[in-house]
Amino acid sequence: MNENTNLEGPAAAVKPIEVVEQTLYEIRKKIYPRAVTGKFATARWSFVLLTQLVFYGTPWLTWNERQAVLFDLASRKFYILGLVFWPQDIVYLTALLIIAAYSLFLFTAVAGRLWCGYACPQTVYTELFMWIERQVEGDRMARMKLDAQPLTARKFGLKATKHAIWIALALWTGFTFVGYFTPIKTLWRETFSAGLGPWEGFWILFYGFATYGNAGWMREQVCKYMCPYARFQGVMFDPDTLVITYDRERGEPRGSRNRAVDYKAKGLGDCVDCGICVQVCPTGIDIRNGLQNECIGCAACIDGCDQVMDKVGKPRGLIRYSKGRVLRPRVLVYAAILAAVAIGAGVSLWLRMPLKVDVIRDRAAIAREVEGGLIENVYRLQIMNTTEQARAFEIGIKGLPGIQVWGGNTAGVPAATSRLVPVRVRADPGQAPGSYPVEFTVTALGVEGVSVTERATFVVR
Ligand code: SF4
Ligand code: SF4
Mean local confidence (pLDDT), 228-248 = 85
Ligand 2 neighbourhood includes 41 CB (under 6 angstroms): no
Query: What's the pLDDT at 25?
Result: 65
Query: What's the pLDDT at 3?
Result: 40
- Could you tell which of 44, 241, 276, 285 is best to mutate to test the pocket of ligand 2, judged by most ligand atoms within 8 Å of the CB? 285
Mean local confidence (pLDDT), 17-21 = 69
- Does residue 10 have a pLDDT over 70? no
Q: What is the pTM of this model?
A: 0.82
State pLDDT tens for residues 105-136. 888 888 888 889 999 999 999 999 999 999 99
Report the share of the chain in percent with pLDDT over 70. Answer: 93
- Could you tell which of 247, 268, 270, 271 is best to mutate to test the pocket of ligand 1, judged by most ligand atoms within 8 Å of the CB? 271
Residues 398/436, Cβ–Cβ less than 8 Å: no
- Does residue 364 have a pLDDT over 70? no
- Does residue 421 have a pLDDT over 60? yes
Assign 241 a pLDDT band (cuts: 50, 70, 90).
confident
Quickly list DSSP for 64-127. TTEESEEEETTTTEEEETTEEE-GGGHHHHHHHHHHHHHHHHHHHHHHSSHIIIII-HHHHHHH
Residues 312/256, Cβ–Cβ less than 8 Å: no
Mean local confidence (pLDDT), 239-264 = 86
Mean local confidence (pLDDT), 211-227 = 93
Closest CA to 415 of 363, 355, 368: 355
> How far apart are the CA of 296 and the centre of ligand 2, in A?
6
Assign 15 a pLDDT band (cuts: 50, 70, 90).
low
Assign 4 a pLDDT band (cuts: 50, 70, 90).
very low
- Does residue 233 have a pLDDT over 80? no
Q: Is the dihedral of CA 80, 84, 87, 93 positive or negative?
A: negative
Mean local confidence (pLDDT), 224-238 = 82
CA gap 357, 359 in Å, rounded: 7
Alpha helices in 112-222 (DSSP H): 114, 121-137, 140-148, 153-178, 184-192, 198-211, 220-221
Integer-rounded Cα radius of gyration of the chain: 34
Instruction: Count Cα atoms within 13 angstroms, Cβ side, for 149.
Output: 15
Task: Output the residue whose Cα is nearest ligand 2's atom 8.
Answer: 298
For the ranges 327-336, 350-359, 366-375, 406-415, the lowest mean pLDDT is seen at: 366-375
Assign 365 a pLDDT band (cuts: 50, 70, 90).
low
- Does residue 91 have a pLDDT over 70? yes
CA gap 306, 286 in Å, rounded: 16
One-letter amino acid identity for 43? Answer: A
Which atom of ligand 1 is nearest the CA belonging to 312? 3
Ligand 2 neighbourhood includes 287 CB (under 6 angstroms): yes
Q: Is the dihedral of CA 347, 351, 353, 354 positive or negative?
A: positive
State pLDDT tens for residues 36-68. 999 999 999 999 999 999 999 999 999 988 999
Mean local confidence (pLDDT), 317-340 = 90
Closest CA to 423 of 454, 385, 388, 450: 454
- Does residue 177 have a pLDDT over 80? yes
Query: What's the pLDDT at 1?
Result: 38
> How far apart are the CA of 301 and the centre of ligand 2, in A?
6
For the ranges 16-20, 36-40, 42-46, 386-390, the lowest mean pLDDT is seen at: 16-20
Query: What's the pLDDT at 6?
Result: 47
For the ranges 100-109, 132-141, 269-278, 439-448, the lowest mean pLDDT is seen at: 100-109
